[in-house]
A and B are shown apart, each in its own frame.
Chain A
Amino acid sequence: MRTVLFTLLLTTAAPAFAQDHAGHAEHEPATKSAETDCQKEAERHRAMGHPVPEGQCEPGGPAEMDHKAMDHSQMDHGQMEGMDHDRMDHDRMKEMAPDTPQAMDHGTMDHGAMDHSQMDHSRMQGMDHSQMDHGAMEQPGAAEIPFAPPPPGAGSGPPRAADAIWGADAMRASRDGLPSELGDILYYWVQGDRMEYRAREGEDGYLWDLQGYYGGDLDKFWFKSEGEGSFGEEIESAEVQALYSRAIAPFFDLQAGIRQDFVPMDRTYAVVGIQGLAPYLFEIDAAAFLSDRGDLTARVEAELDQRITQRLILQPRVEASFSAQDVPELGIGAGLDSVEAGLRLRYHFAREFAPYIGVDQEWRIGQSADYARAEGEDPSVTNYVVGIRFWF
């Protein structure tokens, strides 16, 4: 079985260290194919003027280059451009400390114009660079290359190179289609966050909490709907919001629009709110409502998804309602109106479909509690809930 040796037509590294190519083979013959990397490396170091003892590559030979013994005095730094050594921390280069008779006098060297981008360190093994402070170093030579706008010639071409070849008419359709292929995507989302059955003292009830949007990354039309009631009774509340939603921060949207209540009575509100993701991954939805009667109310919701496993999610949820004034016909008292706290455990059969069970406690507070008692209702209600969360 023959073995075809892997032969590299190695175009030898143009030795940046010695810009004159004297004594340097332009092409190494393929017969050197058996040469080891180490030997090639030694060859290159010799070309740099570094004394590399013969036998360096023998098995068991010194694995590390002895930089202390290197004669750096023959390096021609004069032709190197663009290196800023000002920020190198030489103090930490203990291995290369100039404590030998061949010590270099760094003081007289002009490092200011060195271009180390031409140095090939990639094959040097055993050098301990860990103590070198490279942190402050930019790309080799980068400091010398100016940040500049494109030169005038950069704008000299036709505005659309392909038009000159294929014609502007032929290009138009595909060009006009590019933005929608490359970022301008419109999409819709509908979520039933809480679609649940509520078991409680007295008549059991139901609740829906839906939202959705249509739009792009920053601008969306957003709708929300909430309502609840008890079985066997008239529905207690039902509302729909239609909002324009504008991304104002990486994690938050500003929303404004209209809320229409149908139950317990028709009432229209102007809405301003924010919705988004707060630090620690709280999902926040906070809005203020100004009714057509001039009543000002507000609502804040916060949810937190706690993954128990990849599919089992525990979700604490808190909602608080506030009012600037008493609204007796709606049973709302000024100040903190009501608080609702829930804990739901859901299982993601798919991300889009997750049934849950949970418990949800509602309190009406202060004047609102009095209104409730006057209606013969309990201001504190505990619901045991079963529901589904879905989206598409």
Chain B
Amino acid sequence: MQAMNRRSFLGSSVATGGLLGASAAVPAWARGASLQHGGIIRTGFDEVSGRDIRLTVGEGMRVVQGRRGHAVAVNGTIPGPLVRLREGEPVRIHVTNALQEDTSVHWHGLLVPFQFDGVPGVSFPGIRPGETFVYDLPAIRQSGTYWWHSHSGLQEQSGHYGPLVVDPAEPDPIQADRDYVLLLSEFTPLHSHTIMDKLKKGEAYFNMQQRSWTDDYDLTGEERRMWAKMRMMPTDITDVSGSTYTYLANGMGPEEGLEYLFRPGERVRFRVMNGSAMSFFNIRIPGAKLTIVAADGIAVRPVEVDEFQIGTAETYDFLVEPTGEAMAVVAESMDRSGMALAHLVSRPGARAAVPALREPPLLTMAAMGMAGMDHGGMDHGSSATAGTDQSMVDHSAMGHETVPAQTSTPEMMSAAAMGDMNMRDTSLLPPDVHVGPGIDMVSMNPVDRMGDPGIGLDKVPHRVLTYNDLVALEANRYARTPSRQMEIHLTGNMERYMWSFDGKKFSAVTDDPIRFAYNERVRVRLVNDTMMAHPIHLHGHFFELVNGAPAEHQPLKNVVIVQPGGSATFDLTANEEGDWAFHCHLLYHMHSGMFQIVTVAPRGEEAEEPRVGSDR
């Protein structure tokens, strides 16, 4: 067998995936695309690297599995090209805008000077039609798996995204025989502004799995009435679903047969990037163990799991040793309304059985901010939970003063009793939260839910990754006890489709950013007062999840999912000066106002402290 150096594998395997794909082998015109629109967008991506990289943002028609729609493409493909950088080396990225509107590129997870972070109106003026903007990036301070996307309007939904990989300067701690990119995203024939419009006008437009007289949900009549009384939907798992989305793996629909080659006995690395606008995915390869080795680009101690959920904009690297002739790489949408699909094959065309979509999940008591009470009326799991956080909660917070916190058997509460509780006790909110119609719920008891595997995965009979499993491989040299802590509430109104931080849409706080002193270390607790899981992203920094790992080994992330009704906590060393975007990475939540600016004061005369990557 011909030995191949690992570095060459990434590119060649990506090409393999494209070439083997049924659709890519057939030209667009042969699949029914019109010749009149010159810009038929190709599926899959090329690779760009070197000292100078050129990207052109254009538009055209996209055809996926026979459905077509307007799309934005970079260098003529969706996803856009793999931007491949090298740690320790500077790069100039020239981005040309061939659209009729402004555009931008944000390098998600890359530590860059803020003026090159790519958020129009915050870090730079944006790129006007016809203009070329040069991202003049100094030596890259990190390695790993990232991605890039537009931060202008809703272009990201339309196809303006692509993978980004930084090769390490030193030998990679993660060694594998093959190195593959798996970029997950969505295709929709609808214009992104149409989707926004439908979401605003309501009726749970994209949810075709709602409660009905004829559904199969394991809900008692009492529970159904409780949800109706609250004016909430237990089926509200994702706002936009497979009713319009075709879920994509490297731009290819599940029927288009993306293939990754392997030889028996090989160890394969997958770099999974969730480049979707609105989707969480449950990733599994039935029959294989997945060893998680990196999260959001940064290496973690290996964790072996059977499945993991990846939130919007997160990245995970995992290793797998495929066996047999073929294995299915399944990325099921969190609401089970569809899946992205790829195949690990020992020869082209080999196929393993693809598991059917599992039953749609339902929200639980925990999503209402009643964690720890998820035992009685609402708990319909069929099998034992694997390592989830079943902490018994301080019931006194719920007004049950006679119930001691040490109660060993969880109190059984009827759904009727739940329905009588105040789901919006605004006295529980700190004074800086603006209380108004934009808040339809206040979590009664927002316990830490970083031990939660994600919606729908708390009852599966195998091991699922949680944030509490993540331990940084390398010690954080700047770990120290935070000097202060703060709390940010994630707030919303599903019926009105309003989303915000602390009850204030961005338009209410344009002149009131979240301020940090230079090099200040702050513990930030995010409290989710909604029934949706929000992937919260801070630009320009890595924060460390306060997940029970030793302080110096708290895992570094740039996106943290805050589970419904719960909380998540991170430590932040604010040592990247400038203005940075801080937002929910669900595109339509951000577009609805769930966005803030974080401003880190200039270093000034202070000595430079160690930063991520600065000691390399």
How far does the alpha carbon of A351 sit from the alpha carbon of B267 in the complex, in Å? Answer: 48
List chain B residues, Cβ under 8 A from A91.
Answer: 406
Can you list 23 A-B contacts with CB-CB less than 8 angstroms, sorted by A residue number? A4-B175, A8-B174, A81-B481, A133-B392, A134-B392, A136-B405, A140-B546, A147-B486, A153-B601, A160-B579, A166-B125, A174-B126, A175-B122, A178-B121, A179-B506, A183-B500, A183-B507, A184-B593, A187-B201, A247-B436, A248-B437, A250-B424, A309-B212
B197 in the interface, Cβ–Cβ < 8 Å?
A: yes
10 new A-B contacts at CB < 8 Å, known A9-B173, A122-B471, A154-B515:
A11-B473, A14-B550, A14-B553, A115-B481, A139-B546, A146-B485, A147-B487, A157-B600, A178-B121, A217-B437
List chain B residues, Cβ under 8 A from A122.
Answer: 468-469, 471, 548-549
How far does the alpha carbon of A287 sit from the alpha carbon of B520 in the complex, in Å? Answer: 55
Contact of A156 among B114, B263, B474, B601 (CB under 8 A): B601
With A16-B550, A281-B231: A165-B115 Cβ-Cβ less than 8 Å: yes
CB closest residue in chain B, given A6:
B175
Q: Please provide the chain B residues from 206 to 231 with a CB less than 8 Å away from any CB of chain A in the complex.
A: 208-214, 225, 228-231
B123 in the interface, Cβ–Cβ < 8 Å?
A: yes
Q: Please provide the chain B residues from 382 to 419 with a CB less than 8 Å away from any CB of chain A in the complex.
A: 390-394, 405-406, 408
Contact of B518 among A153, A177, A248 (CB under 8 A): A153
Contact of A135 among B213, B393, B546 (CB under 8 A): B393
Best-surrounded residue of A10, A122, A159 (most CB of chain B within 10 A): A122
B176 near A183 with CB under 8 A, answer no
Best-surrounded residue of B392, B475, B496, B602 (most CB of chain A within 10 A): B392
CB closest residue in chain B, given A144:
B481
B577 in the interface, Cβ–Cβ < 8 Å?
A: yes
The 4 closest A-B pairs by CB, nearest first: A183-B593, A153-B517, A183-B505, A307-B212
Q: How far is the CB of A158 from the nearest CB of chain B, in Å?
A: 8
B505 near A184 with CB under 8 A, answer yes
B177 near A4 with CB under 8 A, answer yes
B356 in the interface, Cβ–Cβ < 8 Å?
A: no
CB closest residue in chain A, given B507:
A179
Type the 1/0 row for A63-106, where 1 means its CB is closer than 8 Å to any CB of B: 00000000000000000011000000101100000000000000
- The number of chain A residues touching the other chain, given as a range, is 35 or more
CB closest residue in chain B, given A4:
B175
Contact of A134 among B265, B391, B485, B599 (CB under 8 A): B391
Q: How far is the CB of A2 from the nearest CB of chain B, in Å?
A: 8
A161 near B551 with CB under 8 A, answer no
B525 in the interface, Cβ–Cβ < 8 Å?
A: yes
CB closest residue in chain B, given A121:
B548
B13 in the interface, Cβ–Cβ < 8 Å?
A: no
B515 near A135 with CB under 8 A, answer no
B595 in the interface, Cβ–Cβ < 8 Å?
A: yes
With A130-B390, A174-B125, A182-B505: A139-B484 Cβ-Cβ less than 8 Å: no
List chain A residues, Cβ under 8 A from B604.
Answer: 156
Contact of A145 among B115, B177, B205, B523 (CB under 8 A): B523
B438 in the interface, Cβ–Cβ < 8 Å?
A: yes
A280 in the interface, Cβ–Cβ < 8 Å?
A: yes
B517 near A156 with CB under 8 A, answer yes
Q: How far is the CB of A238 from the nearest CB of chain B, in Å?
A: 26
B484 near A148 with CB under 8 A, answer yes
Best-surrounded residue of B200, B291, B548 (most CB of chain A within 10 A): B548
Number of A-B contacts (CB under 8 A): 283
List chain B residues, Cβ under 8 A from A351.
Answer: 198, 203, 205
How far does the alpha carbon of A16 sit from the alpha carbon of B552 in the complex, in Å? Answer: 9
Contact of A150 among B1, B123, B515 (CB under 8 A): B515
With A6-B319, A13-B550: A157-B577 Cβ-Cβ less than 8 Å: yes
CB closest residue in chain B, given A146:
B484
B196 in the interface, Cβ–Cβ < 8 Å?
A: yes
With A156-B517, A248-B437: A120-B485 Cβ-Cβ less than 8 Å: no
A11 near B406 with CB under 8 A, answer no
B231 near A277 with CB under 8 A, answer yes
How far does the alpha carbon of A310 sit from the alpha carbon of B482 in the complex, in Å? Answer: 50
With A166-B124, A250-B440: A6-B390 Cβ-Cβ less than 8 Å: no
List chain A residues, Cβ under 8 A from B39.
Answer: none
Contact of A250 among B196, B225, B264, B495 (CB under 8 A): B495
List chain B residues, Cβ under 8 A from A155.
Answer: 515, 601
List chain A residues, Cβ under 8 A from B577.
Answer: 157, 161
A135 near B500 with CB under 8 A, answer no
Q: Please provide the chain B residues from 95 to 150 with a CB less than 8 Å away from any CB of chain A in the complex.
A: 102, 114-115, 120-126
Best-surrounded residue of B474, B515, B595 (most CB of chain A within 10 A): B515
With A11-B475, A280-B229, A307-B213: A120-B481 Cβ-Cβ less than 8 Å: no
CB closest residue in chain A, given B3:
A2
A310 near B209 with CB under 8 A, answer yes
Q: How far is the CB of B570 from the nearest CB of chain A, in Å?
A: 10
B340 in the interface, Cβ–Cβ < 8 Å?
A: no
Q: Please provide the chain B residues from 533 to 566 with a CB less than 8 Å away from any CB of chain A in the complex.
A: 546, 548-553
With A13-B553, A182-B507: A150-B471 Cβ-Cβ less than 8 Å: no
List chain B residues, Cβ under 8 A from A175.
Answer: 121-122
A182 near B302 with CB under 8 A, answer no
How far does the alpha carbon of A218 sit from the alpha carbon of B496 in the complex, in Å? Answer: 9
Q: How far is the CB of A13 from the nearest CB of chain B, in Å?
A: 6
A118 in the interface, Cβ–Cβ < 8 Å?
A: yes
CB closest residue in chain B, given A156:
B601
A10 near B551 with CB under 8 A, answer no
B11 in the interface, Cβ–Cβ < 8 Å?
A: no
Contact of A162 among B124, B229, B485 (CB under 8 A): B124
Contact of B122 among A81, A152, A178 (CB under 8 A): A178
Type the 1/0 row for B172-186, where 1 means its CB is closer than 8 Å to any CB of A: 011111000000000
A162 near B115 with CB under 8 A, answer yes
Q: Please provide the chain B residues from 471 to 513 with a CB less than 8 Å away from any CB of chain A in the complex.
A: 471, 473-475, 481-487, 493, 495-496, 498, 500, 505-507, 510-511
How far does the alpha carbon of A249 sit from the alpha carbon of B493 in the complex, in Å? Answer: 10
Best-surrounded residue of A118, A121, A150 (most CB of chain B within 10 A): A150
A92 near B510 with CB under 8 A, answer no
B481 near A145 with CB under 8 A, answer yes
A135 near B405 with CB under 8 A, answer yes
A324 in the interface, Cβ–Cβ < 8 Å?
A: no
Q: Please provide the chain B residues from 225 to 263 with a CB less than 8 Å away from any CB of chain A in the complex.
A: 225, 228-231, 263
B439 near A307 with CB under 8 A, answer no
A174 near B120 with CB under 8 A, answer yes
Q: How far is the CB of A391 from the nearest CB of chain B, in Å?
A: 7
Q: How far is the CB of B451 from the nearest CB of chain A, in Å?
A: 10
CB closest residue in chain B, given A153:
B517
Q: How far is the CB of B114 from the nearest CB of chain A, in Å?
A: 6
A277 near B495 with CB under 8 A, answer yes
With A82-B481, A181-B591: A161-B578 Cβ-Cβ less than 8 Å: yes
B550 near A217 with CB under 8 A, answer no
CB closest residue in chain A, given B205:
A351
List chain A residues, Cβ under 8 A from B174.
Answer: 6, 8
CB closest residue in chain B, given A131:
B408
CB closest residue in chain A, given B547:
A122
List chain A residues, Cβ under 8 A from B551.
Answer: 16, 115, 117-118
Q: How far is the CB of B326 from the nearest CB of chain A, in Å?
A: 18
A307 near B505 with CB under 8 A, answer no
A217 near B496 with CB under 8 A, answer yes
With A135-B394, A154-B515, A391-B201: A145-B550 Cβ-Cβ less than 8 Å: no
How far does the alpha carbon of A85 sit from the alpha carbon of B600 in the complex, in Å? Answer: 35
Type the 1/0 row for A175-197, where 1 means its CB is closer than 8 Å to any CB of B: 11111011111010100000000
A139 near B525 with CB under 8 A, answer yes
A162 near B500 with CB under 8 A, answer no
List chain A residues, Cβ under 8 A from B612.
Answer: none
A142 in the interface, Cβ–Cβ < 8 Å?
A: yes
B212 near A310 with CB under 8 A, answer yes
List chain A residues, Cβ under 8 A from B153.
Answer: 181
CB closest residue in chain A, given B214:
A309
